[in-house]
Structure 1
């Protein structure tokens, strides 16, 4: 049995807790602390492109919330709602940047989630890039025939569905090659994921530091 370390579950729990906390606790200092944490985290791992998109996508909803409440309310409430919108986008971008969905679903399957659901979700998320390339190929092929495909064209969706059905057998072969059997009585656990204690302590310290902002 191969044991593999993973940080994904504890990071998911950490970000989920922060998102719930910032959604229900009206604290400007907490929101600003989480925003700074997200920026520092991406800077540490040199995800500057993600940081650019984080700032670009966060400013419009934050400014809209701030301005809408500022016109018909008080400035402190407007600032709180504006920073809350900003931090919501930051947590979402951070989740997309550092979470491995494959590891996350396999870990959940290890903890009791239906293996059929876990593998189906992994296949669905991994198929996005392939489907996108397939759509681009279809558009280029149609342009060679003098036909332009638009987003609302039913031909795109019919072609994609036909392609997915063609991939179905390949995915089934790949799943069986990885030891997956929907009707198996014994689960093949050739690889198990575990969270190192060091990771738990680190994110517990992160969470404790962020909680000190509530005292300000």
Structure 2
């Protein structure tokens, strides 16, 4: 399915589930998401992480409503706890087979998102590994001078902000040198089509989901 339509489908499902408190629909969506990820051959390590990491917030929500609430409500506790897995697994379905570049280009081409926003998001995503490397270098340089910059040290983040500002300026110059001009029409390198088949799958899945909510 087209990444933009897939994102729109996930957004609508998440929005409806945030309004409608339905445990059974949550479980059905979780089951379909897991089956989809298995069919798409997700690695067992990633699948385990998708199940294990959301367990902490899900258990916290469940414990708060089940044990620490004045009036215990098991159904509501299970419903809100499973909702965490719904959000996590549906987003994982989108992120598993869609790169950040494809998603940004799809939003630009299909939903007419401004190109400056698209390229800004791509630049921010691509600069994250460089920032992580820069933070490590700052910490190593500090240790060589006898300064231990901990994770919560203000000095560490102040130096990281300076590096980020310098990188942003270099990035802007690099984009201009490659011919990027804000507001001008640009050619498309990677076409992300939105076909009738994508719309049909989108409409079918959305109809089945809403039918399930109505029945259950």
Relative to the length of structure 2, the TM-score reads: 0.80
Secondary structure of 2:181's partner? Answer: coil
Gaps of 5+ in 1: 1-5
Deviation at 1:91? Answer: 3.0
Deviation at 1:30? Answer: 0.9
Comparing 24-33 with 94-103, which one deviates more in the overlay? 94-103
Is residue 2:52 matched to residue 1:56?
yes
Deviation at 1:92? Answer: 4.0
Equivalent residue, structure 2, for 1:3: none
Deviation at 1:188? Answer: 1.8
Aligned length: 209
Equivalent residue, structure 2, for 1:74: 73
Q: Is the 8 A contact 1:61 1:86 kept in 2?
A: no
Deviations 1:17-43 (A, max 9, x none): 111121111222210011112211221
Deviations 1:78-115 (A, max 9, x none): 32223223323333444444443333333333444332
Q: Which has the higher contact order (CA 8 A, sep 6+)?
A: 1
Measure, in 2, the Cα distance between the counterparts of 1:177 and 1:40: 46
Equivalent residue, structure 2, for 1:144: 144
Is residue 2:27 matched to residue 1:32?
yes
Measure, in 1, the Cα distance between the counterparts of 2:202 and 2:136: 41
Deviations 1:173-200 (A, max 9, x none): 442465420264xx02234432233333
Gaps of 5+ in 2: none
Comparing 200-209 with 47-56, which one deviates more in the overlay? 200-209
Secondary structure of 1:194's partner? Answer: coil
Equivalent residue, structure 1, for 2:212: 213
Equivalent residue, structure 2, for 1:182: 182
